[in-house]
Structure 1
Amino acid sequence: MGLSWMAWTWPTAAFFLFIAAAIAAMGVWEYCVPGGAPRRGVLGLDTTRGDRLFITLLGSAFILLGWLGLMGTPLWGGLAVALAWGVFVFWKV
């Protein structure tokens, strides 16, 4: 059974590979530097590294969907905003 019924393209594969790599990197980071004690950021939430990764991924999905709905393709501008969101979340949240 092949995967021809799915819309697998290189960008789709890269997206899922990035998410898998991000989760694996967080696992390695936690293994090498255990702890990751919760900290309170500008949003008033106590978050750990994993929480910040989840907030980053969820927010990036909404940013890119919003960009696609409002601006259309290409998504490079939305990607830049999503990357800035990720940096903000890991530094300030």
Structure 2
Amino acid sequence: MEWMAWTLPTALFFGVIAALLITFTVLAIKFPETPRMGVLRIETTRGDRLFITLLGSAFINLIWLGLEIGPQPYALLACLVYAAAVFRWV
């Protein structure tokens, strides 16, 4: 990984994303689901909600950095709360 100058946190981040994609692929194959309607009034599947969560988490982290709200690891807690809300109500 030296050619990309990756750090351990960067490698872990992309490893977690890859693991999530693999997990959701296996879940979709083993337990197919029908789309459901949430508060956004659009039909979403697990994969859609994962995408919305990842996109929203990126924005949460950017805002956290830009506004200097606090230490960056606390943004992870905000992202986890956001993810729980998305998977529950969207």
State the TM-score, normalizing by the size of structure 2.
0.90
The percentage of counterpart residues that share the same residue type is 53
What does 1:7-86 align with in structure 2 at a 5 Å threshold? Answer: 7-34=5-32, 36-71=33-68, 74-86=71-83
Rounded to whole Å, the distance in 2 between the matches of 1:84 and 1:25 is 20
Deviation at 1:45, TM superposition (A): 1.6
Q: Unpaired segments of 5 or more residues in structure 2? A: none
* Bigger helix fraction: 2
Match of 2:4, SS? coil
Report how many aligned residue pairs link the two structures: 90
Equivalent of 2:88, from 74, 87, 91? 91
Change (3 A) 1:8 1:73: farther
Rounded to whole Å, the distance in 2 between the matches of 1:72 and 1:14 is 24
Deviation at 1:79, TM superposition (A): 0.6
Rounded to whole Å, the distance in 2 between the matches of 1:73 and 1:8 is 24
State the TM-score, normalizing by the size of structure 1.
0.87
The residue type equivalent to 2:22 in the other structure is A
2:4 counterpart residue number: 6
RMSD: 1.5
Match of 1:17, SS? helix
Deviation at 1:5, TM superposition (A): 4.5
Which 4+ stretches in 1 moved above 2 angstroms? 3-7
